[in-house]
Homo-oligomer: A and B are copies of this chain.
Amino acid sequence: MIRSQKKIEFSSKRELTKTNNRSLIIASGINVFVDKGVAEATVRDIIRATGLASGTFYNYFKSKEEVLVAIFDDFASEIGENIRSQKHNIPKDFEDFLRIKISTFLNYINNKPEIYLIMSNNHNLVTNFSIATPQIILEIDYLKEEVVEGINEGIFPKIDVDLFALVTRPVVDTIAQEMILQKKLSIEECTDRCVNFLLKGFLGSK
């Protein structure tokens, strides 16, 4: 029977990846969200691809939105670790600061492009959920504070912090999309592009 074959297939996969049903559903969710978009995706789509019974879904999640949140949460916690591990990497100056943050960001999304695609294709959803996305690293509150600190400490120049908070994300975002979809530019090249442009944008002459 096809059904049981599927089950077996997934069981072995489970064995291999040492994962459980929750992870199975999340993995399937990522695929479905990338393929069909979050709005068009259905719980059935997700559960179908796992080989699990439909009822099983509700042992783990209440809705597809909860899966989405879980996907982002998982990703966010990974990011968190990564960021913390960058903490001792203290920037010398503003350029260095930008370079560290942006290259970290680009590394993330290069490793998990699917999740990044879900986020950029469903921008409204992501905002509605106000989830800690990787973009957050480049965004308002958190980053802004660091910049303000840097300015106060005299390490950074006195830039327009609000403009910085507003503009950095979309610029890096666009270039990141270019990187993932066109696959022409390396992480280093993208980082350079972003840093150069932003630096000039905020500072005037380099």
Contact = CB atoms under 8 A, between A and B. Distances in A.
A200 B193 contact: no
Contacts of A39: 37-40
Given A167-B175, A178-B166, A206 B199 contact: yes
Contacts of A144: none
Interface in A119-159: 120-125
Number of copies: 4
A124 B167 contact: no
Contacts of A197: 163, 167, 201-202
11 contacts: A37-B125, A39-B40, A121-B123, A166-B174, A166-B175, A167-B171, A170-B171, A170-B173, A200-B204, A201-B204, A203-B204
A174 B167 contact: yes
A150 to B, nearest CB: 17
A168 to B, nearest CB: 10
Interface string A24-66: 0000000000000111100000000000000000000000000
Contacts of A206: 196, 199-200, 203-204
A71 interface: no
A101 interface: no
Contact of A204 (B166, B167, B170, B204): B204
Nearest to A195: B206
A76 interface: no
A95 to B, nearest CB: 8
A5 B173 CA distance: 48
A175 to B, nearest CB: 7
A73 B14 CA distance: 39
Given A173-B170, A174-B166, A198 B199 contact: no
Given A37-B125, A201-B201, A201-B204, 19 more contacts: A37-B39, A37-B124, A38-B39, A39-B39, A121-B123, A121-B124, A122-B124, A163-B197, A167-B171, A167-B174, A170-B171, A197-B202, A199-B206, A200-B200, A200-B201, A200-B202, A200-B204, A200-B206, A203-B206
